[in-house]
Structure 1
Amino acid sequence: MTSIPDLSGRVALVTGASRGIGYHLAKQLAAAGAHVIAVARTVGGLEELDDEIKAAGGSATLVPLDLTDMAGIDRLGGSIHQRWGKLDILVANAGVLGVIAPIGHVEAKVFDKVMAVNVTGTWRLIRSVDPLLRLSDAGRAIVISSGAAHSARAFWAPYAASKAAVEALARSWADETKNMALRVNIVDPGATRTAMRAQAMPGENPDTLPTPADVAASILRLASPSLTDTGRIWNVRKGGWTDYRQPE
C-alpha cells in the first residue's frame, strides 16, 4: 500500500473540513486526484480550503452543514447519489471536545452536544452514505477516533465515551461489510497541533506536536483502493495498526 494513493476519478466526503486534520486531509485527497465534498459549519474555512484545492489544480464541492442537522445529513446522501451515483471515500472527522471537567460537574447540555455531534451525527452520516460506499468498486471509510477512547483519563469522560462509541459503531460496520469491497477503519491521530488540542491542553507547547498536515499524510493511505485491512485502528504515532479486539 503506497503512502500517496492514486485517487483519480474518486469522490471523497470529508467532515470537519474547515480546519485541522480534516482541512489538510481534504487538501491531500484532492491533490491525489479525488473530488472532495468538504463539509463543515464554518463557511470561511471551507472557502479557504476551496481556494487552496483549486490553486493546486484540484476540485471540491463545499457543503456548509452542522452535524446536529440530522435531516441535512440525510439530504447530503441523497444529493451525492443524484450527482455522482456513488461515494468512494468517507472521512468521518468532525467532532467536539466538550469540557475537561469532573464527570459530576459536566452540564447536561454539554454532554448532550458531545454525544449529538460525535456519536449520533457520525451514525447518521454512516447511515446516509453506507449505500453509496457499497456502490463503489473500492469504498473506503475512515473514522477519526482518539486514544481517549481507551485511556479514559480523569476529567475526559464525555469525549472518551463518545469516541469509544464511535469506535464500536465503526467496528460493527466493518464486520457487517467484511465480505464486500468496502473497507472501514478507525484512526487514532494522537496529539496533534489543532485548536481542539489547545483547548484541552492550554499550557502545552504546540511546537512539540506534529502538524495536522503531517498527521493527514499518515491517514491518506487508508483511502487507497489497494487497502485490504478493515475493522482496525491506524495509530498515527506508531505509523501502524493497533488492534484492541480481545481474542474470542
Structure 2
Amino acid sequence: MTDAPLAGRVALVTGASRGLGAAIAVVLASAGAQVVAAGRNAAALEETDDRIRATGGLPATLLPIDLRRGEDVDMLGPTIAQRYGRLDIVIGNAGVLGRLGPVTHLPAKDWAEVIGVNLAANWHLMRTTEPLLRASDAGRAVFITSGGLDSPTAYWGAYGASKSALEHLAVTWARELAITNVKVNLFDPGVVRTRMRAAAFPGEDPMTVPAPDDVAPKILPLCLPGEMRSGNVIRG
C-alpha cells in the first residue's frame, strides 16, 4: 500500500460482520491499520477479513462477541492489549433497530436489547478502551449515530432514545478527555443500504440508497492522527 496513513495503528470496529461496519473495517485496513473486527456472526467476520485481504490489508483479528453481554465487552481492552499492546482507533458501529411501535407497547425485552446494544455496549466500550486510547499518541474514537434526533418520529422511540443518549454520552466523554490526545466524535452516515434500513423501510428500492462502501470512506478523516475535532457530530 503506497498510501497508508494508518500504518502501525490498531483499530477496533464493532458490528464489523456486515454492512457499514464491514465497509469501515475494509477502509481502515486499506489505510494501513491493523483491524480488530468484532461482531456476533463469526462466518460473516471471516467474509470481512476476506475483503480486507483482497485489498492488500493486514489480516484482521476476528472477535466474535455478543455486545449485549457487558462483561464480554469489558474484556475487549485487555484482549487487545495482550495481543497488540496498543489501540489507537475505536469505531462504535454496532447497532440494532429494534421493534418499531408505540413506546408504551414495546415489550421489555425489545427495549432492553435496543438500549443494551446501542447505548450500554458503547459505555462498556469506552470504559474498556480508554486506557489504551490515552496511551496512544493520537487516540481516536468514533460512534455511529443517526440523523433526525432533534425531531422525534412516532414509533421510533427506543431507537431514537438510544441514539440521542449515545450522542450525549460521547460528547460528555470527549469533554472529559479534552486535555488528552484522545479525540471523540460521532458520525451520522445518512441513509445507507443496510439490512437495518431495509427492515425499517421495506417498500424502498435499495438501489436508490448509497451502498456502505460508498459511505465508509467518509469516516477515515476522523481516525487520522491529524484530526483535531472532538465532541462533534459529523454528518456524512
Aligned to 1:130: 130
Aligned to 1:76: 76
Aligned to 1:192: 192
Distance in 2 separating the partners of 1:160 and 1:173: 20
Q: Shift of the alpha carbon at 1:71?
A: 1.5
1:167-197 deviation per Cα after TM superposition (whole angstroms, max 9, x unaligned) = 0110000001112111000011111110000
Q: Which amino acid aligns with 1:172?
A: T
Distance in 1 separating the partners of 2:221 and 2:152: 28
Distance in 1 separating the partners of 2:84 and 2:71: 20
Distance in 1 separating the partners of 2:53 and 2:193: 25
Q: Which amino acid aligns with 1:46?
A: L
Q: Shift of the alpha carbon at 1:48?
A: 0.6
Percent identity of the aligned residues? Answer: 50
Distance in 1 separating the partners of 2:147 and 2:51: 31
Where 1:23 maps in the other structure, the secondary structure is helix
1:47-103 deviation per Cα after TM superposition (whole angstroms, max 9, x unaligned) = 011112122221210000010121211222111112222210000000100012121
Aligned to 1:217: 217
Aligned to 1:13: 12
Q: Which amino acid aligns with 1:125?
A: L
Aligned to 2:23: 24
Distance in 1 separating the partners of 2:143 and 2:45: 20
Superposed counterparts of 1:1-248, under 5 Å:
6-59=5-58, 60-236=60-236
Where 1:150 maps in the other structure, the secondary structure is coil
Q: Name stretches of at least 5 consecutive residues in structure 2 with no aligned partner.
A: none
For this pair of structures, how many residues does the alignment match? 233
Where 2:150 maps in the other structure, the secondary structure is helix
Where 2:74 maps in the other structure, the secondary structure is helix
Structure 1 stretches of 4+ moved >6 Å:
none
Aligned to 1:244: none
Q: Shift of the alpha carbon at 1:5?
A: 6.7
Q: Which amino acid aligns with 1:122?
A: N
Q: Shift of the alpha carbon at 1:235?
A: 0.2
Where 1:151 maps in the other structure, the secondary structure is coil
CA RMSD of aligned residues (A): 1.2
Where 2:75 maps in the other structure, the secondary structure is helix
Q: Which amino acid aligns with 2:194?
A: T
1:26-55 deviation per Cα after TM superposition (whole angstroms, max 9, x unaligned) = 001000000000000011110011112122
1:205-242 deviation per Cα after TM superposition (whole angstroms, max 9, x unaligned) = 11111111111011111111100100001100xxxxxx
Distance in 2 separating the partners of 1:108 and 1:55: 43
Distance in 2 separating the partners of 1:5 and 1:230: 23
Where 1:7 maps in the other structure, the secondary structure is coil
Q: Which amino acid aligns with 1:20?
A: G
TM-score of the superposed pair, with normalisation by structure 1: 0.91
Q: Shift of the alpha carbon at 1:149?
A: 2.7
TM-score of the superposed pair, with normalisation by structure 2: 0.96
Distance in 1 separating the partners of 2:66 and 2:150: 27
